[in-house]
Amino acid sequence: MVSGESRARLSGVYALFDPLAVEPIGFTEALLRGGIRIMQIRAKAGIDGATLIAIVTRVRAAGGIAILNDDVGLARLADGVHLGQEDAAALDMPSVRRAFGTRIIGLSCGTPQEARDADPALFDYVAAGPLFATASKDDAGLPIGISGARAVVEATELPCAVIGGITVERVPRVRESGAAMVALASALVCDDPESAARTCVEGWG
């Protein structure tokens, strides 16, 4: 489990991106200039270690957190890993926790019960969604809405990121869920990701 100080950093705008869908280094730098300090590299098709290290180095230099999805081995080069329910179920999570030490481990939760089942001794935050309909994730499921997200937030003591179909314009509304983090993916892949990032950070407050 991470320290209280580290867990306190799990707040604000949380960016997710596929390193094959953007130029990863330039995109990371643009998001950092826009003020985003939490990033998940959603590398479903994998990522080479050199690119991951380059991203992580830049995020850390800006005082941020870089998280890799799914790959617990490669994620040791980053600040943490994010797991889906099936991913976590297939792993010996106490062993993963011991191996990760103070690195962050996040878990996707679509229901309040899944959030309640997320052991704070094993996980450091949960991600609830999809909030709205989304095309960014094929298996995202039906939208849970603001009230559904709030139910997940209230079911756990862990910081919660809300994700799914969140546009730049919707960021302020997500505050109503009580989540610690608002997670965006496709909304940041645009002609001016730095400006989009800045608008999100300002909208979150």
Domains of the chain from N-terminus onward: 4-204 (3.20.20.70)
Interhelix angle 24-33/49-61, rounded to 10 degrees, is: 10
d(CA 40, CA 204) in angstroms, rounded, equals 18
In the set 37, 42, 58, 198, the catalytic residue is 42
Per residue in 52-85, pLDDT (tens digit) is 999 999 999 999 999 999 999 999 999 999 999 9
Could you tell me where the DSSP H helices lie in the chain? 4-8, 24-33, 49-61, 85-89, 93-100, 112-117, 145-154, 171-174, 193-204
Tell which residue, 6, 16, 5, has the closest CA to residue 104.
6
Neighbours of 131 (CB within 10 A): 25
The single residue of 37, 108, 177, 198 carrying the catalytic annotation is 108
Closest CA to 69 of 105, 103, 23, 112: 105
Give the active site residue among 137, 150, 177, 198. Answer: 137
- What is residue 195's DSSP assignment? H
3-state helix, strand, coil in the chain (%, to 5): 40, 20, 40
Give the chain's mean pLDDT.
94
Query: What pLDDT was estimated at residue 7?
Result: 72
Joined tokens for residue 89 = 């179920």
Q: Is the pLDDT of residue 205 over 70?
A: yes
Distance CA 186, CA 163 (A): 11
Per-residue pLDDT of 91-150, as tens digits, reads 999 999 999 999 999 999 999 999 999 999 999 999 999 999 866 655 557 899 999 999
Using DSSP, state whether 102 is helix, strand or coil: coil
- 108 catalytic? Reply is yes
Active site residue 11: no
